Amino acid sequence: MANLSTTYMGLKLKNPIIASSSGLTGTLKDLVELEKSGVGAIVLKSIFEEEIISETEDNLNKMNASGFIYPETMEYFDFDEMEDPVANYLKLIADAKSEVSIPIIASVNCVTADKWPDFAKRIQSAGADGIELNIFALPTDMNRSATQNEALYFDIIERVSKATTLPIAIKISPYNSSLANFIKKLSETKVKAIVLFNRFYSPDFDVNNFEFTSTSVFSTPAEIALSLRWVAIMSGRIDTDLSASTGVHDGLGAIKQLLAGAQTVQVCSTLYRNGFAKVEDILKQTEEWMNEKGFNDIEQFRGKMSQVRTYNPAAFERVQFMKYFRDMDR
């Protein structure tokens, strides 16, 4: 029997398939169902920095109004009584930890290092096993340099790692210049894992009515190419775990990402499209492939097709495109 167990950001997982952060990981009922489906870990739906900041400011206002003077008092609030996103989030973590036995990774969507990072302490107190920082500010400001944009990530990581001893993962987008250098620099911080990549809503045009529409919220299997390439390029070159996200819809996608060197593989769109039962399929396909190839555990093939280990490193770089284009000449 193939052994699918792995480690990820210092946590032990029974297999590398993670339910990535989405609307499917925001209620206790779904978390319980996801565990039953067989996933190795779950990343909770993100809480937004703005929600955290507005809760803190509301509480401070309430405390001031009622004569409280010690901010620590906030720790003693009865969150069950509070109908706000932060209280609900902390309760979700605590409930998940009592009902579910696989690792639960909290997720914060943030764009600044101000005001909110201390919240990581409360995520830890609520019982989360790790925290994933979903950082993204579209680099549209023509007056900000790449270094300035990157500084934001390093500031956030530093502030959060001072607030908590939880393992931290950082989920990034591919929209960074000098991507390999940026990923290397991230790996030299306290982060234990880097998730490649987040996927965003993109605007589209309705050319008849001159209106904006949106591209599909869900990925297609073809979209695996971008993360596959970058996982393969970076794995084996940095000590930080890489988690592959975007475009993994089946066992074949998961196998490819493991061959590229991913420590874990995150799935989202396929769960929306096919239901949680898809996880069993993915695990079965991976296990069957391992049995067929004679692999007893993941380490025997993880990174086998990464750029540093492949017989054909150029496969990941520009030469390959030149060959393709030449082949398409008539």
Three-state secondary-structure class, residue 254: helix
247 scored as a contact of ligand FMN (CB under 6 A): yes
The nearest distance, CB 139 to ligand FMN, in angstroms, is 18
Site membership for ligand FMN, residue 175 (CB under 6 A): no
Q: State in angstroms the smallest separation of the CB of 274 from ligand FMN.
A: 11
Which of 199, 168, 165 has the alpha carbon at shortest distance from 186?
168
- Is the Cβ–Cβ distance between 41 and 264 less than 8 Å? yes
The yes or no reply on residue 21 touching ligand FMN (CB under 6 A) is yes
- Tell me the window of 52-60, 97-105, 141-149, 264-272 that interacts with ligand FMN (CB under 6 A): 264-272
Q: Which is nearer to ligand FMN, 59 or 268 (CB)?
A: 268
Q: Using the rule CB under 6 A, which residue among 59, 173, 245, 306 binds ligand FMN?
A: 245
**Does 176 help bind ligand FMN (rule: CB under 6 A)?**
no
302 lies in the binding site for ligand FMN (CB under 6 A): no
* Phi and psi torsions of 133, nearest 5°: -100, 120
Which one, 22 or 187, has the nearer CB to ligand FMN? Answer: 22
Angle CA 161–104–202, to nearest 5: 80
**What's the token pair of residue 278?**
């898809």
Q: Cβ neighbours of residue 204 under 8 Å, at least 6 residues apart?
A: 212, 213, 214, 215
164 binds ligand FMN (CB under 6 A): no
If one asks whether residue 59 binds ligand FMN (CB under 6 A), the answer comes out as: no
The residues facing 243 across adjacent strands are 195, 264
Stretch that binds ligand FMN, among 20-28, 120-128, 256-264, 292-300 (CB under 6 A): 20-28
Complex with ligand FMN: residue 2 or 169, whichever CB lies closer: 169
At position 142, the amino acid (one-letter code) is M
Which CB atom, from 21 or from 161, has the smaller least distance to ligand FMN?
21
Residue identified by tokens 């067989």 is 38
Q: Which of 15, 20, 264, 306 binds ligand FMN (CB under 6 A)?
A: 20
* Residues in Cβ contact with 51 at an 8 Å cutoff, skipping those fewer than 6 apart: 84, 85, 86, 89
CB of 55 to ligand FMN, least distance (A): 17
Task: Please list every residue from 183 through 242 that binds ligand FMN, using CB under 6 A.
Answer: 198-199, 217-219
Residue 131 neighbours by CB distance under 10 Å: 25
The number of residues in the chain equals 330
- Is residue 173 close enough to count as binding ligand FMN by CB under 6 A? no
In the set 30, 42, 45, 261, which binds ligand FMN (CB under 6 A)?
45
Binding segment for ligand FMN (CB under 6 A), chosen from 112-120, 185-193, 262-270, 301-309, is 262-270
Closer residue to ligand FMN (CB): 171 or 302: 171
**How do 241-244 and 193-196 pair as beta strands?**
parallel
Structure tokens at 259: 């061959």
- Phi, psi for residue 14 in degrees, rounded to 5: -75, -20
**b vs e for 142-178, b when ≥16 Cβ sit within 10 Å of the residue's Cβ?**
eeeeeeebbebbeebbebbbebbebbbbbbbbeebee
Expressed in angstroms, the distance from the first to the final Cα of the chain is: 49
Residues of the shown chain interacting with ligand FMN in the complex, contacts defined by CB under 6 A: 20-23, 45-46, 107, 109, 134, 171, 198-199, 217-219, 245-248, 267-269
